[in-house]
Amino acid sequence: MAVDFQAEIAKRRDDMLADLFSLLRINSERDDSLADAQHPFGPGPVRALETFLAMAERDGYTSRNIDNYAGHFEYGQGEEVLGIFAHLDVVPAGSGWETDPYEPVIKDGKLYARGASDDKGPTVACYYALKVIKELGLPVSKKVRFIVGTDEESGWADMDYYFKHSGVKKPDFGFSPDAEFPIINGEKGNITQYLHFSGSNGSDFVLHSFEGGLRENMVPESARAVFSSESLSFTEIQSELQQFAAENNLQTDLSQDGDQITVTLIGKSAHGMSPQAGVNGATYLACFLSRYSFGGAAGDFLKIAGQVLHLDYYGEKIGLAYEDSKMGALTMNPGVFRFAETADDNMIALNFRFPQGVSSEGIYQQLTKLDGPNAVTVSEHLHEPHYLPPSDPLVETLLRVYEKQTGLKGHEQIIGGGTFGRLLECGVAYGAMFPDYENTMHQANEFADVDDLYRAAAIYAEAIYELIK
């Protein structure tokens, strides 16, 4: 049966945009300070989940909410199950926005809002793709399970809980609309490891506090430090900071309250899988401060952050540089920095995206050789490298549909980012960003091109139908 999927999506453009706006207006950042038994990641992700599942119920699906961790609805019949994995949580909005991040705005054909491209926009595009198939009553021989999570950006505890408590087996094959076209059939491994420091000082320069970064998988946009000095005046520090800022094209702010000096440095956020695309405000601030004679653990903290980790996107200074011919190079994002002189345990979180040939244990062993940290610990959330060859029928089908819809040549891609596509042995990421698209995920002023979302929805519709007809 020949179907013009682009025309079918065009008929539903207004409804699709209205549903997307309803999700984008929800601040679904994880907030552990408000988490409880009914709100495992805070109230925002729950509101987004409830809103999405209410959409499904409105459209005639039977949905399931798995204790506010994740949810799903199903369509079709058959022994085989196609899984579509999306997420409704978002990274913190941060600063630097020209619009309210939770009041979607369309300007020059671009939809600005946190989650517009990661991942609410693609999620709704994929939802409307399946909606077309359902409303047209197209014949299918497989089941679709559309699964949405609420903790993809932090630790995937949503999917851990979902598969333990939903009572359903994993889908046989599937994709996640959370990356790029033509396809993402390989993803690097992903692990966060932590360098620990005490809160001691040991000279006339005293570091009272240092904070930078919102999430491990984001390049810290800004950082703030409070310190004092008996040997250098405020005016001298101000002059040196101005010179440092000019040399590195940075925004800074300096103030004094009694004997304490507060300095803030602003860089540029980016996705943690591409630390070289951002300007790490925390390592730049540590680089500036490490010129002074801070001692003890404070000195070690600033030296590691400002001299060892600063601009070392590939772990070269700490002996971790490695590149695989297919998956590319290991990358390192120093994502979160916390130091307080009153704390017994301070830390720097390092998020690694690593290819085949590297292990989390190998990274850990190398980090323990660093001079300065008093301990190294490893996150329990480890994702090994994932790869599905181009010869796999799933990859072949998705690339064929992409080529038909766009007229562009499809090809395999491997990224440093991690998507729910890797939850399945036979799983990939598919769209919704098109080639040469400006990637604003995890950045201020995140946007999605509205027409591209409609284009993606048509591709998803045909792809889903080809996979289940």
> Which residues carry out catalysis?
89, 152
Contacts of 148 (CB under 8 A, 6+ apart): 49, 52, 53, 70, 71, 72, 85, 86, 87, 88, 123
Q: How far apart are CA 274 and CA 270, in angstroms?
A: 7
What would the two tokens of residue 326 be? Answer: 């297919």
Residue type, 332: M
Query: For residues 97, 103, 109 and 110, what is the CA-based torsion angle, rounded to 10 degrees?
Result: 40
CA-to-CA separations, 207 to 173, 299, 343, in angstroms, rounded: 52, 8, 12
Render 51-83 in DSSP notation, one character per residue: HHHHHHHHTT--EEEETTTEEEEEES--SSEEE
The stretches of 249-407 forming alpha helices (DSSP H) are 281-289, 296-303, 360-367, 393-406
What residue type is assigned to position 265 of the chain? L
How is residue 132 written in tokens? 């077309």
- Identify whether the C-beta of residue 314 lies closer than 8 Å to the C-beta of residue 332: yes
Selection from 19, 11, 76 nearest residue 468 by Cα: 76
Can you give 406-428 as a three-state secondary structure string? HCCCCCCCEECCCCHHHHCCCEE
CA 141 to chain centre: 34
Q: What is the separation of C-alpha 382 from the centre of its chain, rounded to a whole number of angstroms? A: 15
Report the C-alpha gap between 326 and 413 in whole angstroms: 9
**Residue 46 CB partners (closer than 8 Å, separation 6+):** 38, 39, 68, 150
Cα 453 from Cα 434, distance rounded (Å): 10
Contacts of 290 (CB under 8 A, 6+ apart): 299, 302, 303, 305, 306, 307
